[in-house]
Amino acid sequence: MSSPRPSPFWSRDRHRDRRPLLLARSRIVTALRGWFDAEGFLIVEPAALQVSPGNEAHLHAFATELTGPDGVGRRRYLHTSPEFAMKKLLAAGEERIAAFAPVYRNRERGALHAPEFTMVEWYRTGAPYTAAMADTAALVASAARAAGATVLTWRGRDADPFAAHERLSVVEAFRRHADIDLLPTLGDRDRLAAEAARIGVRTVPDDTWSDIFSRILSERIEPQLGTGRMTLLCDYPVSEAALARVSPDDARVAERFELYACGVELANGFSELTDPAEQRARFDAEMDEKERVYGERYPLDDDFLAALAEMPPASGVALGLDRLVMLVTGAPHIDLVQWTPVDAGEEMG
């Protein structure tokens, strides 16, 4: 027998229980907007309906049909990130922009995941990604201050939002937390699979190097990050660069970082890639992998790739607002900090 479904979010009792968390969310949003304003950012409103939802192999989008006055239907998607639209604004000449963007990701539901959530995303032109790191830490501290929180908490773990963060390279993290020397395995799927087996991480024959890397990261490394203080995990292998540029100091790694607190990923930042040919090649490879695994692929946004050629050097960050509110308030589930959480139907029973 299935358990009874919880009362809807609009029931008075449930709303009364959630309201303190929602009020904290509002104070956090106000504080973050104030921080961006003080730093000279413009708040922009990128459109959610896009030609391409994003081109990461393991992200799944919501598709719809745009019908014009001519009655012809055209496939469109709800974006998984406002990145493409915002980078077009950088190409147009904007220098500091930020957005509080609703984003949409299918096949995602859990304590830390929702099919619709809010992404705080911002870009600085002419700034190194170390500036984006500093921005990210400052915003988390601003959020905690606004909510009157002295610690971030998640499932029994704490992190001080005001303490100096730990900066740890991916290579160092693999060595420290998984006892793996990562660099010699780069591009060698079988060697990394053997290392995974040695430490008890399961793999399957059709796993790629990136699949094994991600599994070791999620099972052995991420739970150790951001305990006591926040961790900035940086310098990802170039195969995991996404939309980041390759490091000028070491071609094996990319200028990409993620911020962790209490074992939870809060933000993902880059020195932005501005080479459209390289970006197209990365997108094609991601969509080839998506087709291999899921039997589908998303179109590329050629307009975005054209804009990329005109975009100045920049750093950018995407931060999950809902997760930030959760850790600041100690909420155990993302639905508790969303004003109107998406009803997923029977699966919520």
**pLDDT tens digit string along 154-205?**
999 999 999 999 999 999 999 999 999 999 999 999 999 999 999 999 999 9
The span from the CA of 138 to the CA of 313, in Å, is 22
Answer yes or no: are the C-beta atoms of 80 and 59 closer than 8 Å. Answer: yes
Question: For the whole model, what pTM was predicted?
Answer: 0.94
Closest by CA to 24, choosing from 168, 146, 165, 154, is: 146
The span from the CA of 39 to the CA of 208, in Å, is 42
Closest by CA to 79, choosing from 58, 48, 51, 120, is: 48
The pLDDT assigned to 7 comes to 84
Answer yes or no: are the C-beta atoms of 106 and 126 closer than 8 Å. Answer: no
The span from the CA of 261 to the CA of 133, in Å, is 14
163 phi/psi in degrees, rounded to 5? -75, 155
Instruction: Count other Cβ atoms within 10 Å, centred on residue 278.
Output: 14
pLDDT above 70: residue 236: yes
Answer yes or no: are the C-beta atoms of 77 and 64 closer than 8 Å. Answer: yes
Answer yes or no: are the C-beta atoms of 116 and 299 closer than 8 Å. Answer: no
Angle formed at CA 317 by CA 96 and CA 122, multiple of 5 degrees: 25
Q: What is the CATH number of the domain that holds 84?
A: 3.30.930.10
First to last CA, the chain: 11
Report helix angle 321-329 to 12-38, nearest 10. 110
Partners of 60 in beta bridges? 106
Domain span holding position 253: 12-165+230-348
Mean pLDDT of 339-343: 92
The pLDDT assigned to 102 comes to 98
Q: Is residue 75 part of a domain?
A: yes
Chain center to CA of 201? 24
Q: Is residue 189 part of a domain?
A: no
Q: Is residue 125 part of a domain?
A: yes
Answer yes or no: are the C-beta atoms of 121 and 317 closer than 8 Å. Answer: yes
Give per-residue pLDDT as tens, 57-99. 999 999 999 998 999 999 999 999 999 999 999 999 999 999 9
Domains held by the chain: number: 1
Q: Is residue 40 part of a domain?
A: yes
